[in-house]
């Protein structure tokens, strides 16, 4: 399969609809209309001269010669120029082989018109010299006027053609973008040069022609020549200014509109590069920036599937190394686990087990987030959550206890998976100093929490089995709740990893404000 066929298949799979032969033919014809439209500008100027100078006798010859040069010869020249573009649009060559021609299309087309304009007007203005004033019906021009007229009209026709074809290039690039998904990546034009040429044509050119007339002629001839120049300048500059403004301002307007949408959070923007200058390059960089933002958003969303989304967002906001530096803060740690999960796993098919476990973890996750907690790690059938680290959480001890009660209520009132499995949850909560930060090596980093408070919460979760409870909290957690809940002391126990006994408490459902904890059962 050819590269072009592969690209077409890829475009179709990405939602881009390939252009039909009729659409390709239409966009190709439009180029020839635009590139030869300079003839109508020439016709306007010739008509103005005929009206003012009363040279209607040779008007058909003058117009016919202009048509021969600016339509006929010009068509032959631009046909060869456009051939690579036509081949690309027909799927015969890849985009990389035509991109340079696309970028230079306005300049190359205008250069050909520039040369043809010189020939056209040099022949017209010199006809009184080789055909005689009577035969040509054209007054003999002064040498300065001959040179100035040729020069001004060459620049005018060049500028008109350049910006008309630039406007066409904008349409062509949009067409290619929509049907091929490709954008210009080469930029040979210069926005400054375009402005300079436009300024010369609009202001300096007509003024120069009028000044030459003032110094070259006198009396009625002078008035006639100045009137011709002024009328021609009004028509030529008006038409050229229209295409100049479209060519220079439309890409900026498109870019501005896209930036406005992005500022409102719409990252789906990708716009065609429609100019061959710095504005086109800026548009390309805008597309790259949006792709980077979309990639960042995908990373954040993907990261948030493995690390709590709030932690992922905090890490991505950090500049520099993109990690969370170590810090110590008072926080509350919550560990949860499913009672008898090993036995359950032995009797459930793996696919059913995973479905049920995912539903369970989603149920447990909701109360933790609702009360300001962050799930740091899923550990098999359990999870490890923190309150006030890394995200601030006022009253973190009470928030953790409320989350634990809501977890018990949510889990105890439903079944999970297609098999309707019931899960009993054990929770351990501890409050105290916690060290948090990004740890790891090389490209493998993980946000984690360290310290005695973390270890104690894990041990309390395990002790639920020994005491027949569902929620156990440490003395530090109980004291930080400031009497919001009623706790039942269970004495002191020696916790693995600690030399001193630790006072532990369960929650008394009857004394808890607004909460109805599930019935405790023996483990």
Residues with Cβ < 8 Å from 66, sequence gap 6 or more? 39, 42, 43, 46, 120
Closest CA to 367 of 400, 412, 414: 400
From residue 461, how far is each of 56, 79, 136, 182 by CA, in Å?
A: 105, 81, 109, 58
Distance between CA atoms of residues 415 and 422, nearest Å: 5
The pLDDT assigned to 27 comes to 93
Please check whether residues 232 and 348 belong to one and the same domain: no
Q: In this structure, which long-range contacts are made by residues 142-147, counting pairs with CB atoms below 8 Å and at least 24 apart in sequence?
A: 142/212, 142/216, 142/217, 144/212, 144/215, 144/216, 145/212, 145/213, 145/216, 145/217, 145/225
pLDDT at 345 over 70: yes
Is 127 within the bounds of a domain?
yes
CB 283 within 8 A of CB 271: yes
pLDDT at 166 over 50: yes
Is 482 within the bounds of a domain?
yes
Closest CA to 400 of 437, 433, 374, 438: 374
Distance between CA atoms of residues 363 and 336, nearest Å: 12
The pLDDT assigned to 520 comes to 36
**What number is the average pLDDT over the span 351-363?**
87
**What number is the average pLDDT over the span 357-379?**
87
Digit-coded pLDDT (tens) for 393-430:
889 999 999 999 999 888 887 888 877 788 889 999 99
Question: How does the average pLDDT of the chain come out, rounded?
Answer: 81
CB 236 within 8 A of CB 161: no
pLDDT at 349 over 80: yes
pLDDT at 374 over 60: yes
Share of the chain above pLDDT 90, in %: 25
Is 210 within the bounds of a domain?
yes
Digit-coded pLDDT (tens) for 467-476:
889 999 999 9
Is 349 within the bounds of a domain?
yes
Per the structure, how many domains does the chain have? Answer: 2
The pLDDT assigned to 326 comes to 65
pLDDT at 300 over 80: no
Helix (H) or strand (E) holding 8: helix 3-13
**What number is the average pLDDT over the span 499-522?**
61
The pLDDT assigned to 79 comes to 94
The pLDDT assigned to 22 comes to 92
Which one of 219, 247, 275 terminates a domain?
A: 247
Please check whether residues 220 and 327 belong to one and the same domain: no
Which of 8-12, 290-294, 461-465 comes out lowest in average pLDDT? Answer: 8-12
Residues with Cβ < 8 Å from 476, sequence gap 6 or more? 397, 430, 431, 432, 453
Please check whether residues 339 and 463 belong to one and the same domain: yes
Which one of 191, 215, 247 terminates a domain?
A: 247
Which of 163-177, 352-366, 497-511 comes out lowest in average pLDDT? Answer: 497-511
CA R_g for the chain:
40
Write out the two tokens for 162. Answer: 């350049």
Residue whose token pair is 């690579």: 84
Distance between CA atoms of residues 132 and 198, nearest Å: 37
Closest CA to 71 of 41, 104, 49, 108: 41
**What number is the average pLDDT over the span 39-57?**
89
Please check whether residues 216 and 119 belong to one and the same domain: yes
Q: What is the CATH number of the domain that holds 441?
A: 3.30.70.1230
Please check whether residues 234 and 371 belong to one and the same domain: no
The pLDDT assigned to 310 comes to 59
pLDDT at 1 over 60: no
Distance between CA atoms of residues 120 and 39, nearest Å: 11
Classified as helix, coil or strand, 478 is helix
C-alpha torsion sign, points 338, 344, 345, 351: negative
The pLDDT assigned to 445 comes to 61
Closest CA to 379 of 396, 400, 369, 364: 364
The pLDDT assigned to 342 comes to 78
Please check whether residues 204 and 334 belong to one and the same domain: no
pLDDT at 244 over 50: yes
**What number is the average pLDDT over the span 176-180?**
88
Is 287 within the bounds of a domain?
no
Is 308 within the bounds of a domain?
no
The pLDDT assigned to 9 comes to 40
Please check whether residues 169 and 77 belong to one and the same domain: yes
Please check whether residues 73 and 196 belong to one and the same domain: yes
Range of the domain at 188: 3-247
The pLDDT assigned to 466 comes to 87
pLDDT at 287 over 70: yes
Buried/exposed 148-160: b ≥16 CB within 10 Å, e otherwise: bbbbbbbbbbbbb
Distance between CA atoms of residues 342 and 344, nearest Å: 5
What band does 523 get if pLDDT is binned at 50, 70 and 90? very low
Please check whether residues 207 and 337 belong to one and the same domain: no
Residue whose token pair is 């200058």: 277
Please check whether residues 235 and 328 belong to one and the same domain: no
**What number is the average pLDDT over the span 84-111?**
91
Highest mean pLDDT among 129-138, 267-276, 342-351, 389-398: 389-398
The pLDDT assigned to 322 comes to 46
Is 91 within the bounds of a domain?
yes
Distance between CA atoms of residues 155 and 240, nearest Å: 11
The pLDDT assigned to 476 comes to 92
The pLDDT assigned to 261 comes to 82
CA 243 to chain centre: 28
Distance between CA atoms of residues 493 and 469, nearest Å: 15
Residue whose token pair is 């077409």: 8
The pLDDT assigned to 421 comes to 81
* 289, 292, 297, 298 alpha-carbon torsion, rounded to 10°: 150
Residue whose token pair is 């009396």: 219
From residue 99, how far is each of 137, 166, 239 by CA, in Å?
A: 48, 15, 29
Neighbours of 511 (CB within 10 A): 11
Is 465 within the bounds of a domain?
yes
pLDDT at 304 over 80: no
Classified as helix, coil or strand, 383 is strand
Distance between CA atoms of residues 31 and 18, nearest Å: 20
Write out the two tokens for 239. Answer: 């038409």
Which one of 247, 282, 310 terminates a domain?
A: 247
Highest mean pLDDT among 26-30, 241-245, 311-315: 26-30
Please check whether residues 243 and 328 belong to one and the same domain: no
């Amino acid at each position: 399969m050819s590269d072009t066929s592969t690209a077409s298949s890829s475009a179709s799979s990405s939602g881009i609809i390939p252009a039909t032969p009729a659409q390709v033919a239409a966009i190709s014809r439009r180029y020839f209309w635009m590139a030869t439209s300079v003839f109508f500008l020439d016709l306007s100027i010739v008509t103005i001269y005929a009206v003012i100078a009363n040279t209607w006798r040779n008007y058909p010859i003058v117009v016919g010669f202009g048509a021969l040069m600016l339509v006929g010869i010009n068509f032959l020249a631009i046909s060869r120029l456009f051939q690579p573009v036509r081949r690309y649009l027909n799927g015969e060559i890849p985009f990389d082989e035509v991109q340079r021609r696309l970028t230079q299309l306005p300049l190359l087309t205008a250069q050909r018109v520039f040369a043809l304009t010189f020939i056209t007007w040099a022949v017209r203005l010199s006809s009184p010299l080789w055909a005689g004033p009577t035969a040509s019906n054209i007054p003999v021009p002064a040498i300065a006027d001959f040179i100035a007229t040729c020069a001004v009209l060459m620049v005018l026709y060049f500028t008109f053609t350049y910006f008309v074809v630039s406007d066409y290039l904008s349409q062509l690039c949009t067409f290619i973008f929509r049907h091929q998904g490709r954008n210009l990546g080469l930029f040979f034009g210069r926005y400054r040069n375009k402005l300079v040429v436009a300024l010369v044509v609009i202001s300096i050119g007509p003024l120069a022609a009028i000044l030459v007339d003032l110094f070259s002629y006198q009396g009625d001839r002078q008035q006639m020549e100045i009137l011709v120049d002024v009328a021609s300048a009004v028509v030529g500059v008006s038409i050229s200014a229209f295409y100049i403004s479209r060519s220079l301002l439309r890409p900026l307007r498109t870019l501005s509109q896209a930036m406005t949408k992005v500022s409102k959070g719409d990252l789906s923007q990708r716009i065609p590069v429609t100019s061959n200058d710095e504005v086109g390059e800026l548009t390309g960089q805008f597309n790259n920036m949006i792709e980077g933002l979309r990639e960042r958003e995908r990373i954040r969303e993907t990261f948030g599937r493995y690390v709590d989304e709030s932690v992922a967002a905090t890490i991505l906001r950090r500049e520099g190394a993109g990690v969370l530096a170590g810090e110590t803060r008072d926080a509350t740690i919550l560990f949860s686990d499913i009672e008898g999960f090993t036995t359950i796993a032995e009797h459930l098919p793996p696919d059913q087990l995973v479905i049920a476990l995912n539903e369970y973890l989603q149920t447990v996750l909701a109360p933790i987030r609702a009360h300001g907690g962050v799930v740091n790690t899923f550990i098999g059938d359990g999870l490890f959550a923190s309150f006030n680290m890394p995200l601030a959480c006022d009253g973190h001890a009470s928030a953790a206890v409320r989350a634990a009660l809501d977890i018990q209520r949510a889990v105890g009132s439903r079944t999970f998976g297609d098999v309707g499995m019931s899960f009993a949850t054990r929770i351990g909560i501890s409050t105290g100093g916690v060290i948090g930060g990004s740890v790891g090596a090389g490209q493998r980093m993980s946000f984690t929490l360290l310290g005695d408070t973390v270890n104690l919460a894990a041990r309390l979760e395990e002790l639920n089995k020994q005491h027949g409870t569902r929620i156990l909290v440490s003395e530090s957690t109980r004291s930080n709740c400031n009497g919001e809940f009623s706790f039942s002391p269970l004495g002191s126990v020696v916790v693995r990893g600690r030399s001193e006994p630790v006072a532990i408490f369960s929650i008394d459902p009857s004394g808890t404000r607004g909460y109805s904890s599930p019935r405790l059962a023996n483990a």
